[in-house]
Chain A
Amino acid sequence: MAPTLDPMVGRYLRLEIDGVDHRIYFEEAGPKEGGGIPLVCLHTAGADNRQYRHLLADPEITSRFRVLAFDMPWHGKSTPPDGWEKTEYRLTTASYTAAIRAFCRAMELDKPVVMGCSIGGRIVLNLAIAHAAEFRALIALEAADFQQPWYDTAWLHRPDVHGGEVCAALVSGLIAPQSPPVNRHETLWMYMQGGPGVFKGDLYFYRVDGDLREKVKSIDTKVCPLYLLTGEYDFSCTAEDTLRTAVQIPGVEVQIMKHVGHFPMSEHPAKFREYILPVLQKIS
């Protein structure tokens, strides 16, 4: 009997980000030649590209899009840069933007679509602000120009609290109660596997460095279309946060997703599909 294989393929990419050598893991599926539109997917803070495994295995999407999902440096199977043990990981607007642009450049992607969730959604807004002409379209999931913090990140990395378990327990409430239990717990498993201090380091970007209030007003959707989609059960980036952001951006398309939380692509892939397919249809 033939083996049952998922369609995506994983590889490691060697590249420089801001002059530092990196080895980045990514998975892809879909046509490289013949008109496949590159669609780069950005995972949430403290997680990895497995969040997009359902999208990578969806023939209705991969028939038209070359879907690529990479693990950010320090995340998943992407190793931290040499000498990581002497530094404290902190993601910034500049370093995150540099990593995405370096990946797209190294993979020789021609005007890709970028879709990111949570911190990935926030950085997509920054791409729209600063680098819109490089992209065919931008999709920000669970994104806003700013969100009110709801816990102290100091609890995420200390020896007397299990980092993986506390990260998962905190974000568990961001998953909608309607999400299938299997998908809920798979989403949480990824959080339990993050490296020490990585989720906390990602949130430095989210809470301290990545405040885009006022800046989003400069987004020109005529240069690059922008789509915002947020789950109604996301109390980290609330529907109100996203709608407040959207009214500042002429031409943006915004949708609030029913029965979905902060991790649409992994917590409820079937429901997310109902919302993302029409968006991808417009883009293609």
Chain B
Amino acid sequence: MSPADRFARLPDLLSCDADLQRRGRWVTVDCRVDVGEQPFFLGLENGALAAFERGTRLMRSSAFTIRADEEAWAQHWQAMPAPGWHDLFALTKRGAASMEGDFRPLLQHLQFFKDLLALPRRLAMES
């Protein structure tokens, strides 16, 4: 399964995580996550994914974007990621990921977003 295909499972992974949804109950924001060349548009409402679209959307606005190359996500989603690949900021520090846009909603709910973006790790644990 490609990293983008794994990220496409995010709605299922989040719906199975009642604790993460509880912790995200104040999160309502549109944001974008790029897995390699594949953009994903996330519409979060009260911690749930009200919208989740894969692929280019012309002129779609989002509060912030998080980008990483395929290798970075693949490493990040290992069941036990290696040092330097295990955290979003470890990825940005090594230059394998970037963040841009309005950082306020991201920083207001930082643990939620870090945990959300790490959810595909569970697919590696299952296999």
Which A residues are closer than 8 A to B by beta carbons? Answer: 148, 150-151, 155, 160-162, 165-166, 168-170, 172-174, 176-178, 232-233, 235, 238-239
Contacts and interface: CB of A to CB of B under 8 A. Distances in A.
Q: Which among B83, B93, B94, B104 has the highest number of chain A CB atoms within 10 Å?
A: B83
Grouping DSSP codes into helix (H, G, I), strand (E, B) and loop, the A interface class, with mixed when no group exceeds half, is: loop
B44 to A, nearest CB: 16
B111 A235 contact: no
Nearest to B78: A177
Contacts of A239: 83
B73 to A, nearest CB: 15
Contacts, number: 52
A184 to B, nearest CB: 12
Contacts of B81: 177
Interface stretch (B11-19, B28-36, B63-71, B84-92): B84-92
A184 B83 CA distance: 17
Nearest to B108: A161
A151 B108 contact: no
Nearest to B85: A235
A160 B109 CA distance: 11
Contacts of A148: 93
A172 B88 CA distance: 10
Interface residues of B, number: 19
A174 B87 contact: yes
Nearest to A260: B83
Contacts of A170: 89, 110
Given A148-B93, A150-B92, A235-B93, A173 B108 contact: no
A230 B110 CA distance: 26
Given A178-B80, A235-B83, A173 B107 contact: no
A173 to B, nearest CB: 3
A87 B32 CA distance: 40
Contacts of A166: 107-108, 110
Contacts of A162: 108
A161 B103 CA distance: 11
Contacts of A161: 104, 107-108
